[in-house]
């Protein structure tokens, strides 16, 4: 970099360190793979879902932003685009899962072949169709990420006023496609770990958590980078207030969907539905469940109600960092009990793999972030004081 640009320099440093840490942890992960393949894959799947969820959350926020056009989205659009452009990398990182389906998923192993109930679902749950669906999901998500990124870059160059409308026209139906494809992706990748169990709200519940974690990461990066130009000139307390409100909304939405699933299964009390909760409320796991109720809902709910929490960058940054930790606990609680029937088990790979995949993913994110200016250059909605005289 020749021009003095402190924001880009910082991102470059983050990129280098993410890559170094990611590669170092990946070497350790490779050792773990040699020692115990099953342990490695279980940790890998959970870590993968957390970080792939970041990329998907970024795409979801981008689609939402283009659909509703709020000014809160203008300052984070480049972060979302960069995150969405990492989706092809996450497709590559799914390969270790796809080649070991038999180890991870009961339905793909010898046990599944003997189970009549699983056999009745074999038309959907079989290895070739599973892989074909994964390819299909990634093709669709990559297409949306590619088109929205391309048109946004075109807007930078040409200032064509029609592009904003074209992005909206793609995004509004895109949101529907996105929610349906992610729902099925999570049915495939996570829900099928316990192939006897099913819940229709599952995909949406998991997706809300992922959008929440993407918001937490993006807001944290935005706050840190808003100390420097160009974001310094655009980000105001009002933007942070709006973004804090979005985090609040997704916290409540997550709690609403998570509780909806729980109350229906609890009230029905049917033998094929309750095992999911019995496992997740078994010894050790129940402490995590209480942790999630308190720290994934109650605490952020009360904190994000407060105006100061959302308008003071320092406070909001701390909350975002905290929410990232809580999110990874939630993904762990949703994914891992499917493998361990009796009680809570945590392996050293559960700590190593999130660092390994996270390092690599963040390096990719920062690389994409440096590829474009940090704010859209020619979108009329960025100009002028935020929300002054016009609410949206």
> 230 preceded by cis ω (within 30°)?
yes
- In whole angstroms, the minimum distance from the beta carbon of 388 to another protein comes to 5
| 152-59-74 Cα angle (round to 5) | 50
If the CB atoms of residues 2 and 269 are measured against another protein, the closer one turns out to be 269
- In whole angstroms, the minimum distance from the beta carbon of 52 to another protein comes to 32
- In whole angstroms, the minimum distance from the beta carbon of 252 to another protein comes to 10
348 binds another protein, rule: CB under 8 A: no
Which residue in the set 168, 196, 347, 387 belongs to the binding site for another protein (CB under 8 A)? Answer: 387
If the CB atoms of residues 126 and 260 are measured against another protein, the closer one turns out to be 260
- In whole angstroms, the minimum distance from the beta carbon of 182 to another protein comes to 27
Using alpha carbons, select from 119, 96, 109, 5 the residue that is nearest to residue 43. 96
198 binds another protein, rule: CB under 8 A: no
Q: Dig out the tokens for 290 from the structure.
A: 């209480």
- In whole angstroms, the minimum distance from the beta carbon of 111 to another protein comes to 32
Number of residues that bind another protein (CB under 8 A): 15
Instruction: Give the number of other Cβ atoms within 10 Å of residue 326's Cβ.
Output: 21
Q: Look at the chain and count its residues.
A: 392
**Region 325-344 residues binding another protein, contact defined as CB under 8 A:** none
The DSSP call for residue 191 is G
**Region 251-310 residues binding another protein, contact defined as CB under 8 A:** 259, 262-263, 266-267, 269, 305, 307
Helix (H, G, I), strand (E, B) or coil at 300: helix
- In whole angstroms, the minimum distance from the beta carbon of 274 to another protein comes to 13
Q: Dig out the tokens for 38 from the structure.
A: 């099953």
If the CB atoms of residues 147 and 253 are measured against another protein, the closer one turns out to be 253
- In whole angstroms, the minimum distance from the beta carbon of 74 to another protein comes to 15
If the CB atoms of residues 180 and 263 are measured against another protein, the closer one turns out to be 263
If the CB atoms of residues 160 and 308 are measured against another protein, the closer one turns out to be 308
Q: How far is CA 39 from CA 103, 305, 351, in A?
A: 10, 41, 12
1 binds another protein, rule: CB under 8 A: no
Helix (H, G, I), strand (E, B) or coil at 374: coil
160 binds another protein, rule: CB under 8 A: no
If the CB atoms of residues 261 and 349 are measured against another protein, the closer one turns out to be 261
CB 360 within 8 A of CB 6: no
Q: Dig out the tokens for 288 from the structure.
A: 């995590």
Stretch that binds another protein, among 15-23, 35-43, 209-217, 381-389 (CB under 8 A): 381-389
Using alpha carbons, select from 385, 383, 387 the residue that is nearest to residue 375. 383
If the CB atoms of residues 263 and 290 are measured against another protein, the closer one turns out to be 263
The DSSP call for residue 372 is S
CB 83 within 8 A of CB 383: no
What is the Cα–Cα distance from 180 to 174, expressed in whole angstroms?
Answer: 10
- In whole angstroms, the minimum distance from the beta carbon of 258 to another protein comes to 12
What is the Cα–Cα distance from 369 to 297, expressed in whole angstroms?
Answer: 31
- In whole angstroms, the minimum distance from the beta carbon of 216 to another protein comes to 24
Q: How far is CA 368 from CA 64, 157, 228, in A?
A: 20, 18, 19
Stretch that binds another protein, among 24-32, 156-164, 337-345, 384-392 (CB under 8 A): 384-392
- In whole angstroms, the minimum distance from the beta carbon of 387 to another protein comes to 5
351 binds another protein, rule: CB under 8 A: no
**Region 209-248 residues binding another protein, contact defined as CB under 8 A:** 238
Residues in Cβ contact with 326 at an 8 Å cutoff, skipping those fewer than 6 apart: 292, 295, 296, 300
If the CB atoms of residues 74 and 106 are measured against another protein, the closer one turns out to be 74
Using alpha carbons, select from 274, 272, 253 the residue that is nearest to residue 263. 274
What is the Cα–Cα distance from 232 to 227, expressed in whole angstroms?
Answer: 6
Residues that bind another protein in the complex, under the rule CB under 8 A: 238, 259, 262-263, 266-267, 269, 305, 307, 385, 387-391
């Amino acid at each position: 970099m020749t021009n003095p640009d402190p924001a880009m320099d910082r991102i470059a440093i983050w990129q280098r360190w993410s890559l170094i840490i990611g590669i170092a942890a990946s070497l350790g992960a490779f050792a773990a793979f040699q020692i115990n393949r099953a342990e490695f894959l279980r940790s890998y799947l959970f870590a993968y879902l957390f970080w792939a969820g970041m990329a998907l959350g970024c795409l979801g926020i981008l689609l939402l932003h283009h659909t509703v056009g709020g000014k809160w989205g203008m300052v984070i659009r480049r972060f979302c685009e960069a995150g969405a452009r990492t989706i092809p990398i996450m497709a590559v990182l799914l390969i270790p899962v796809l080649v070991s389906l038999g180890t991870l998923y009961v339905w793909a192993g010898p046990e599944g072949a003997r189970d009549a109930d699983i056999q009745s679902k074999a038309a959907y749950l079989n290895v070739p169709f599973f892989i074909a669906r994964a390819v299909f999901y990634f093709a669709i998500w990559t297409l949306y990420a590619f088109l929205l990124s391309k048109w946004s870059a075109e807007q930078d160059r040409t200032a064509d006023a029609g592009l904003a409308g074209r992005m909206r026209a793609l995004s509004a139906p895109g949101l529907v496609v996105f929610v349906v494809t992610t729902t099925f992706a999570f049915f495939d990748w996570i829900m099928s770990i316990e192939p006897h169990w099913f819940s229709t709200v599952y995909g949406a519940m998991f997706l809300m958590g992922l959008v929440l974690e993407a918001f937490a990461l993006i807001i944290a990066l935005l706050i840190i980078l808003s100390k420097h130009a160009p974001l310094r000139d655009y980000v105001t307390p009002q933007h942070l207030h709006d973004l804090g409100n979005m985090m609040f909304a997704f916290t409540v939405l997550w709690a609403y969907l998570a509780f909806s699933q729980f109350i229906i299964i609890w009230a029905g009390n049917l033998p094929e539905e309750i095992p999911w909760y019995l496992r997740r409320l078994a010894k050790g796991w129940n402490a995590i469940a209480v942790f999630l109720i308190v720290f994934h809902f109650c605490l952020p709910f009360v904190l994000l109600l407060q105006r100061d929490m959302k308008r003071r960058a320092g406070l909001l940054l701390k909350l975002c960092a905290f929410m990232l930790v809580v999110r990874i606990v939630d993904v762990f609680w949703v994914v891992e009990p499917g493998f361990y029937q009796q009680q809570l088990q945590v392996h050293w790979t559960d700590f190593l793999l999130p660092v390994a995949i996270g390092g690599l993913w963040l390096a990719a994110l920062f690389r994409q972030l440096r590829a474009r200016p940090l704010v859209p250059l020619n979108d009329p909605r960025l100009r002028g004081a935020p929300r002054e005289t016009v609410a949206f």
